[in-house]
Structure 1
Amino acid sequence: MASYQISCINLSHTNGRHEHITHVGGPALNRRLTVAEIVTFIKNKTDEFYVLDARGNMAWVGVVEANPPHIRTYADRVWTDNLLSLTTCQLR
């Protein structure tokens, strides 16, 4: 199983109050991936994803079973919001 760092995100641009992550990117990823793709990779156990904070601490990305499923980080068995602190991915 390959491990990939996620270092940027893109949020939905809805007029509502609740934006959500639509795409993620990282240094070893060749393109931005959709959240649905990340969910599939994690569920199929073909790839795993993580984020690093400013101090270099790692938090793994997991799937939150909701409708639709979404991604969130967890560290020390606690769900965290590390993804929302990442920079915006440049559109390619």
Structure 2
Amino acid sequence: MADVLVTGINKKDRNSTHEGITHLGNPSANWKWPRAAVIASIENNTNTFFTNVNGNRGDIRVIDGPNGPYVRTIADGKLNDNLLSLPELP
């Protein structure tokens, strides 16, 4: 199982608070995956994913929401939205 650093995201509308993340990735590591592939990888225990914002690690977890599963970070035992603070992927 690989521990994978996520450094960027894509959203359909970057400024929308209602549109979800469509892709996660790391251009330095030359990868960009659809959200569904990241969710499947986490649920199948194939990979773990995390962010590193200002030196703070945030582990990415799958959350079951009213509109289906989505990804979110958890750091220090608290859910937060570090993913949304990441830059847009090319």
TM-score by length of 1: 0.85
1:83 corresponding residue in structure 2: 83
CA distances 1:20-50 after superposition (whole Å, capped 9, x unpaired)? 110011133x331011001000000110000
How far is the alpha carbon of 1:60 from its aligned partner? Answer: 0.3
Paired amino acid for 2:18: H
Query: Superposed, which structure 2 residues align to 1:52-71 within 5 Å?
Result: 52-54=52-54, 56-66=55-65, 67-71=67-71
More strand by percentage: 2
Structure 2's unaligned 5+ residue stretches are none
2:45 corresponding residue in structure 1: 45
Determine helix, strand or coil for the equivalent of 2:68: coil
CA distance in 1, matches of 2:85, 2:51: 10
Paired amino acid for 1:60: D
Determine helix, strand or coil for the equivalent of 1:69: strand
2:22 corresponding residue in structure 1: 22
Aligned residues: 87
Root-mean-square deviation over aligned CA pairs:
1.7
CA distance in 2, matches of 1:25, 1:2: 14
TM-score by length of 2: 0.87
CA distance in 2, matches of 1:43, 1:17: 25
Kindly report structure 1 stretches of 4+ aligned residues shifted beyond 2 Å: none
